[in-house]
Amino acid sequence: MTIISKLAVVPVALFFVAFCTSGLASSLHPGKPTIVASPNGKLKTELSATNGDLSYRVTVDGKQVLAPSKLGIQTDDVDLGQDVTLGAPRVHKVNEKYRFFGAHALAVNRANEAVVPATSHGESYMIDIHVADDGVGVRLRLPAKPGRRIQADRFTWMLEGDPTMWVDKLDPGYESPITQLLSNS
């Protein structure tokens, strides 16, 4: 193979990688909602910034199980879940195994992930969305800044339907009583 023919393969390979990975997240355009599906396609998480308010929702087999719920963090007297502009997500697959001490000797982490840049009140940060076949993780990552104060977690869960919840009071111990709570009470 000559050098010219080797170089001609590179654009085709880059197109193939971009085309194949675009299915992991349904939006690669800044400002549009980003939908990340699990490897088996049954679980989906949608991240959006409707009217500047950061939120996410989760569906299983097309049925909503977590209604649009707020995301945010208050730092240095600013709520970074408001006045949000989303950038284009970077998406990738995760498929790793590692030794684990506990119920299973081998842990398997198989998921699709998106890293979405966000800006709020002039501050840039990242939103990580991790969607596996059996669960979802969402995390906000702020850049390190000397003297930064984290004042409040602004995440909410808007549960769909009328679920029964088991709750515990905020307690530094681990043996406090758990109480059954009906969502309509």
Report CA torsion sign: 132, 25, 48, 85: positive
- Other beta carbons less than 10 A from residue 41's beta carbon: 11
pLDDT over 60 at 16, yes or no? no
Q: Would 96 be classed as within a structural domain?
A: yes
pLDDT over 70 at 20, yes or no? no
Burial 119-139 (b: 16+ CB within 10 A, else e): ebeeeebebebbbbeeebebe
Q: Would 167 be classed as within a structural domain?
A: no
For the chain, the domain total comes to 1
Q: Would 34 be classed as within a structural domain?
A: yes
Q: What is the tens place of the pLDDT at every residue in 122-176?
A: 999 999 999 999 999 999 999 999 999 999 999 998 988 887 877 777 777 777 7
**In the predicted model, what is the mean pLDDT of the chain?**
83
Show Cβ contacts of residue 110 under 8 Å, excluding neighbours closer than 6 positions: 39, 94, 95, 96, 132, 133
Q: Would 110 be classed as within a structural domain?
A: yes
Contact between 167 and 74 (Cβ < 8 Å): no
Q: What is the CATH number of the domain that holds 33?
A: 2.70.98.10
Q: Would 13 be classed as within a structural domain?
A: yes
pLDDT over 60 at 120, yes or no? yes
Q: Would 183 be classed as within a structural domain?
A: no
Who has greater pLDDT, 165 or 91? 91
List the domain range (segments joined by +) for residue 139.
3-159
Q: Would 115 be classed as within a structural domain?
A: yes
Q: Would 185 be classed as within a structural domain?
A: no
Mean pLDDT across 9-21: 34
